[in-house]
Amino acid sequence: FIRRAKQLEVDGVSLESCFIDRFDKAYLSEVKGMLDEYKLDRVFAWGHPDGLEGGKNEKMFDDMMKSIEYAVDIGAKVMRVVGSSLAFRFEPHGPQLERLAKWFSIAAKEVEKQGIKMAVENHLDFNSDEMIQLFKDINSPNVGINFDTGNFVRVLDDPVKAMQKLVKYVYATHIKDLKVQKGAAVDDWYFFSCTPVGDGGIVDNQKIGQLLEDNGYEGFMAVEIDFLHPDYRNDEDKAVAQSIKELKRIARAVERSKT
């Protein structure tokens, strides 16, 4: 994956811990060495698919806390985490947010000590107002959001309006573009399926990029494809390459807007 990222000439990668088989220091040092050699920014991503299960899984909380060490070992400045998920979206949100605020407040002290940030993803669970409330309750500059454009759409929250409200909390991103999948049930999460970024989707990622630039975002825009629309025949590598090309165009455009 890292070699392919290098071929695509990206600025950074988000490494999902669920795909990493080993966490011994020797192996993670090798990963860090490759990332350093290729001059890639990096996010260590923990918690797929259900993370802390809305603040009910203490074993996963312990695993998250242990994984902070792994993020440091690969030289990541940001660790993306999952508090809840699609699986818990119909459970009352208030108690989930209350439990998660307590656990992330504990984690905030550790990531501060390690000199990194923690980015909680909106994982098809909470809308932008709920995420803002979570960060206010945590009240730590070391905990913010992994802003997923598509997941806000999927909870019927406009991602541009969400970014306007949350931009000061953004430490990492998942940039998706989506369009309706005909024949899918409206209440299924993949009703809004992924397209290559900029290829006729409904997300205004140009505006998203402009908001990030205008507010001093220091990370990178990370492509994520979770369920590719059938129109693209499941050619994920082609869709990723096309998305990266579009994000580079957006990056150049927002950079020019400063002059």
Q: Find out whether 221 and 251 touch, Cβ atoms under 8 Å.
A: yes
List, for residues 3-20, the tens digit of each pLDDT value: 999 999 999 999 999 999
- Global pTM exceeds 0.95: yes
List, for residues 201-253, the tens digit of each pLDDT value: 999 999 999 999 999 999 999 999 999 999 998 899 999 999 999 999 999 99
* DSSP, res 175: B
Residue at 26: amino acid letter: A
Query: Which residues, other chains included, contact 183 with Cβ-Cβ below 8 Å and sequence gap of 6+?
Result: none
pLDDT computed for residue 234 by the predictor? 81
Structure token pair of residue 14: 């988000």
